[in-house]
């Protein structure tokens, strides 16, 4: 489990690409490598991966075909930067919102506004069916960052980025058409799906 509070920025050092699996070698800040163990879960751009090997401030993890298809990890190149969050431990603060690290879809940045330190990003979901789970002031996780939906149109939504988040994550490097990983808030999804199911059941009884 994660919280969407990015702990640091890591660098892709090497990518071994095979037909159905990519193996990433990633360098993380030394402060994040402390007590890191084989088999630990770690969020890379919000995607939960399992550590296969560790060597000081480097770790290796495998990304399977399904994950490559669903996330932006397959678009990464050597020297690219990614957001890193280590998994939550018992007693840790949850400053963001509860995140599983299971990416549901991606979104493309359609516009960026930066006026008087008010940084706003508009995004369009790759799979529009997930728009029904987005609500004004609702939670959303974008590339592993816990954010709040600040506006919604028929096909797009936007988030406001505070200066701390802007410069402590990779989001300041993003441009129009950049692809971002999206995880919808689990509780919102459950409420929407349950409500839809109940409405359909009621209609059947009429």
Question: What's 154's domain CATH number?
Answer: 2.40.30.20
Q: Which of 25-34, 96-105, 196-205 has the lowest mean pLDDT?
A: 196-205
Inter-CA distances, 136 with 10, 149, 165, 195, Å:
31, 6, 20, 18
Q: What is the pTM of this model?
A: 0.92
When the pLDDT of each residue in the chain is averaged and rounded to a whole number, the result is 93
Statement to judge: residues 187 and 151 lie in one domain: yes
Give the per-residue pLDDT at 27. Answer: 97
Map tokens 């359609």 to a residue: 110
Is 201 inside any structural domain? Answer: no
Of all residues in the chain, the percent with pLDDT exceeding 70 is 100
For the chain, what is the domain count? Answer: 2
Taking only the tens place, the pLDDT of each residue in 114-161 is: 988 889 999 999 999 999 999 999 999 999 999 999 999 989 999 999
Is 78 inside any structural domain? Answer: yes
Map tokens 């409420």 to a residue: 191
How would residue 33 be classed by pLDDT, with cut points 50, 70 and 90?
Answer: confident
Statement to judge: residues 73 and 109 lie in one domain: no
Is 63 inside any structural domain? Answer: yes
Is 98 inside any structural domain? Answer: no
Give the per-residue pLDDT at 16. Answer: 97
Give the per-residue pLDDT at 157. Answer: 98
Backbone CA torsion sign across 37, 63, 169, 14: positive
User: Which residues form the domain of 127?
Assistant: 105-194
Q: What is the dihedral of CA 98, 104, 109, 112, to 10 degrees?
A: -10
């Amino acid at each position: 489990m994660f919280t969407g509070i990015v702990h640091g920025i890591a660098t892709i050092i090497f990518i071994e690409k095979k037909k159905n699996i990519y193996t990433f070698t990633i360098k993380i800040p030394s402060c994040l490598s402390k007590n890191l163990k084989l088999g630990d879960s770690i969020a890379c751009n919000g995607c939960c991966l399992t550590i296969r090997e560790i060597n000081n401030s480097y770790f290796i993890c495998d990304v399977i075909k399904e994950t490559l298809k669903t996330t932006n990890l397959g678009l990464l190149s050597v020297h690219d930067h990614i957001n890193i969050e280590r998994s939550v431990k018992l007693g840790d603060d949850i400053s963001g919102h509860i995140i599983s690290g299971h990416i549901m879809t991606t979104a493309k940045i359609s516009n960026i506004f930066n006026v008087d330190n008010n940084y706003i990003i508009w995004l369009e979901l790759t799979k529009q069916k997930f728009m029904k789970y987005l609500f004004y002031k609702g939670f959303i996780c974008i590339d592993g960052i816990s954010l709040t939906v600040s506006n919604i149109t028929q096909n797009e939504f936007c988030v406001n980025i505070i200066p701390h988040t802007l410069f402590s994550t990779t989001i300041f490097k993003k441009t129009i058409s950049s692809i971002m990983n999206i995880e919808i808030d689990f509780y919102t999804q459950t409420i929407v799906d349950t409500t839809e199911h109940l409405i359909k059941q009621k209609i059947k009884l009429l």
